[in-house]
């Protein structure tokens, strides 16, 4: 024990509460080109369901199109077809009562989902930290704490995104939510 520290003070210091941080053991996958963020996000999410698929394997299930990418309903349908543990439901972030409430819902949904080993597919429309431009993009939410989400970003370290880390903790108020796919247990 350091000089001048009482046993009572030392004991108190070790019992301080810190925000709970949960992180899923998901291996990051880089998207192979500029438009396959949807199939790549699906491949990362499937790891939590103990399913290994390549980006090319997921493309037909999510109805990927090189010209249009992957829309939220097709990504949800593809994930629902590729695994049987969860039903992925589309939650629109660009409709409803406002961005603050949408962010609160996403944060609370992430806390419940990550606790049950279920990552969330997140569609963004805007800029995440370290982005040099606005994008319409899919990422995987693989961790959560009090006010932050751990994002696995398939575009990280690609041309134009060299400063983006494969996995990074991002404050919920810096995430431009377009929609997310909420996993719920199948009954």
* pLDDT reported for residue 94: 61
3-state SS class at 139: strand
- Looking at the DSSP bridge assignments, the partners of residue 121 are 140, 181
Beta strands in the chain (DSSP E): 22-23, 86-92, 120-126, 135-144, 148-152, 167-171, 177-185
Range 184-187 contact pairs with CB under 8 angstroms and sequence separation of 24 or more: 184/86, 184/87, 184/89, 185/85, 185/86, 185/87, 185/116, 186/84, 186/85, 186/86, 186/87
In 3-state terms, what secondary structure has residue 22?
A: strand
Residue 37: closest CA among 135, 182, 168: 135
Alpha-carbon distances, residue 171 vs 9, 129, 139, 186 (angstroms): 32, 9, 15, 30
Q: How do the pLDDT tens digits run along the chain, 187 residues long?
A: 444 443 443 333 333 334 589 999 999 999 999 999 999 999 999 999 999 999 999 999 999 999 999 999 999 999 999 999 999 999 998 665 677 889 999 999 999 999 999 999 999 999 999 999 999 999 999 999 999 999 999 999 999 999 999 999 999 999 999 999 999 998 7
pTM above 0.75, yes or no: yes
- Pair 139, 131: CB distance under 8 Å: no
pLDDT of the residue at 128: 94
């Amino acid at each position: 024990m350091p000089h001048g520290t009482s046993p009572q003070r030392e004991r108190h210091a070790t019992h301080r509460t810190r925000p709970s941080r949960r992180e899923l053991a998901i291996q990051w996958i880089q998207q192979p080109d500029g438009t396959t963020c949807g199939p790549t996000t699906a491949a990362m999410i499937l790891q939590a369901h103990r399913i290994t698929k390549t980006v090319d394997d997921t493309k037909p299930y999510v109805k990927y199109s090189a010209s249009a990418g992957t829309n939220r309903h097709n990504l949800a349908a593809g994930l629902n077809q590729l695994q049987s543990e969860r039903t992925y439901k589309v939650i629109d972030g660009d409709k409803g009562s406002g961005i603050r409430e949408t962010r609160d819902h996403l944060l609370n949904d992430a806390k419940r989902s990550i606790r049950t080993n279920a990552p969330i597919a997140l569609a963004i429309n805007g800029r995440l930290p370290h982005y040099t431009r606005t994008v319409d993009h899919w990422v995987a939410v693989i961790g959560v704490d009090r006010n932050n989400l751990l994002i696995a970003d398939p575009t990280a370290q690609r041309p134009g995104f060299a400063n983006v880390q494969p996995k990074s903790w991002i404050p919920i108020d810096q995430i431009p939510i377009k929609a997310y796919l909420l996993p719920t247990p199948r009954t």
